[in-house]
Every structure is written in C-alpha cells, then in structure tokens.
C-alpha cells in the first residue's frame, strides 16, 4: 500500500488488509445483530432461561420474536485475540453502534479506542476503515465481496434467529452460565467455503429469554481465535447520524481495496 512498494508487493498487502477489515465488520455486525434482539425492559441480572432452552428451535423462535422490535443498538466491547504462532493474546476495547435506516439498510460504526485508535464504518454499501495514526482510509465496496459480507451483514437485517440457518449450520451445544446468566450455547459453521476459510466455526452464548449474545468466539483455521464480550448495551435509542461519518483531516488519503 505504501508508495515506495512495487506493484508485486502492493497487491498481496492489499488483500491482507481487506481480510482484516472483513474480520472487523464480521465480528462487530454479528454481535450487534444478536444484541439487537434484546427486549429493552428486561434486565440481564434478572434474566432466567426459557423453559425449552435445551433445544435449538425455541431459542431461534425467541430471537425471531425479539427481532421485530429492533431499531438500533450500541455497546462497549472487549476483544481478546489469541495468536497461536506466538502464543500471545492481544486486547482491544471500544464501542460499537448499529442502526437500521428507514430504507432497511444496515449501518454499523465501530470505534476502537485502545490500544490504537481506529474507526470502521459500514454505510451506503461501503466499508471504510480509518487509521488516524497514519492518516489513511481504506475503502471497500461490499459488492466486490458480496458473499463474504452478506454472510455476516444479513444478521443485521432483522436479526431473526432462523436467518442464522441460511448462512450457518447451527447446533445447540447445551446451557452454560455467562456473567451469572444461564445461556444457550450455539455453534455456527459457515456454509460458504470462502467464509469458512476465514472462520471455520463461531460459538455464541445466547440469553434465550432476551435473545442477547453475551459472549462470542470466532475460530480461524490457523488456530487463532477471538473472544468477544459486550457490556452496557443500549437498545432502540437514537443514534446520531454523526456516528456513521469518518472525521478525517485534510491530510488523510483514501486507498480503495480490492
């Protein structure tokens, strides 16, 4: 991507950046789509498991029902990324926003606050990743990666539980306590070979009463994985249009990815 790189070196790097950006949007939109299914009046501390949470169908049905109420969501996040080759774990923290527009479009904004500031916005069919430290925006057209993007973005269009089965093989893996809540553990295997090359399996822990994913784990074929926790979730509150805009400077350059 740097100007002093040859074309031969530029192309592989551009593909690599694109994969990283896709991982970012996949993680953020997936969890927010699930979080958006929560019932606003229900508190996590008092949540109880549904009577039939030991089977998959009741969980999906409750998610379907809660999805009808969704307009927007925001939450704090913590990501723990484990890298097998060096046996190390990196932690990132920030805030995510998710909104359904009047036209039915899914919009997402992700603000990574530490250890290094980055902003990711998906709107108008484009994914834009802003890195203030190097004053650069990487822009990707979702249409060029339609299958990969839709495998995750479809979760934001209503977020119905049964929509999971269109993109994933869904397996109920029992009940498990997360943050004091008895959750339904679901294992998702991507149906798309391209997506499976990035994430061979995704595990989510759902509070079946509210339809909220309290925890997620994304497994990569390399042995790397990312565990995600979301807190301070706010649902169906007004999210400013400004959240979905990048605040760049006059020195910022835009690089379009492939």
Residue 185 inside a domain? The answer is yes
Flag whether 1 is in a domain: no
- Whether the bond between 115 and the residue before it is cis, its omega within 30 degrees of 0, is yes
Rg (CA), the chain: 18
Residue 221, SS3? coil
d(CA 23, CA 148): 10
In a domain, 165, yes or no: yes
Is 2 part of a structural domain of the chain? Answer: no
Residue reference for tokens 């949007």: 25
Q: For residue 45, is it within any domain?
A: no
pLDDT (tens place) for every residue of the chain, 258 residues total: 433 433 333 333 333 434 554 454 444 443 333 333 222 323 333 334 333 334 899 888 888 887 777 788 888 889 899 999 999 999 999 998 888 777 667 788 989 999 999 999 988 888 899 999 999 999 988 776 655 564 565 444 446 788 888 888 999 999 898 878 788 899 999 888 888 888 899 998 887 666 667 788 999 999 999 998 888 878 788 989 999 999 999 999 999 876
Is residue 142 packed enough to be buried (19+ CB in 10 Å), middle (13-18) or exposed (0-12)?
middle
- Number of folded domains in the chain? 1
Asked, for residue 168, whether it belongs to a domain, the answer is yes
Q: CATH number of the domain at 102, please.
A: 2.50.20.10
Q: Is residue 244 one of the residues assigned to a domain?
A: yes
Distance CA 114, CA 143 (A): 30
Pairing status of strand 212-219 against strand 225-235: antiparallel
Read off the pTM. Answer: 0.72
Give the residue numbers spanning the domain of 26.
Answer: 7-40+51-256
């Amino acid at each position: 991507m740097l100007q002093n790189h040859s074309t031969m070196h530029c192309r592989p790097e551009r593909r690599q950046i694109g994969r990283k950006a896709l991982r970012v949007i996949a993680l953020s939109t997936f969890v927010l789509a699930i979080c958006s299914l929560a019932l606003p009046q229900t508190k996590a501390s008092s949540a109880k498991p549904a009577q039939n949470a030991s089977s998959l169908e009741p969980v999906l049905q409750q998610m379907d029902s809660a999805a009808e109420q969704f307009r927007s969501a925001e939450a704090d996040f913590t990501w723990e990324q484990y890298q097998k080759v060096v046996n190390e774990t990196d932690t990132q923290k920030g805030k995510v926003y998710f909104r359904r527009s009047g036209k039915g479009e899914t919009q997402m904004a992700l603000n990574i606050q530490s250890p290094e500031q980055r902003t990711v916005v998906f709107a108008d069919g484009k994914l834009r990743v802003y890195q203030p430290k190097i004053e650069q925006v990487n822009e990707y057209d979702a249409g060029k990666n339609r299958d990969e993007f839709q495998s995750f973005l479809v979760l934001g269009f209503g977020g119905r539980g049964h929509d999971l089965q269109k993109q994933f093989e869904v397996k109920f893996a029992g009940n498990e306590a997360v943050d004091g809540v008895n959750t339904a553990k679901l294992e998702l295997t991507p149906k798309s070979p391209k997506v499976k090359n990035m994430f061979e399996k995704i595990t989510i822990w759902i509070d079946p009463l509210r339809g909220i994913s309290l925890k997620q784990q994304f497994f990569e074929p390399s042995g790397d994985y990312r565990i995600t926790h979301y807190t301070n979730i706010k649902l169906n509150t007004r999210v400013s249009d400004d959240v979905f805009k990048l605040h760049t400077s006059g020195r910022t350059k835009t690089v379009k990815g492939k």
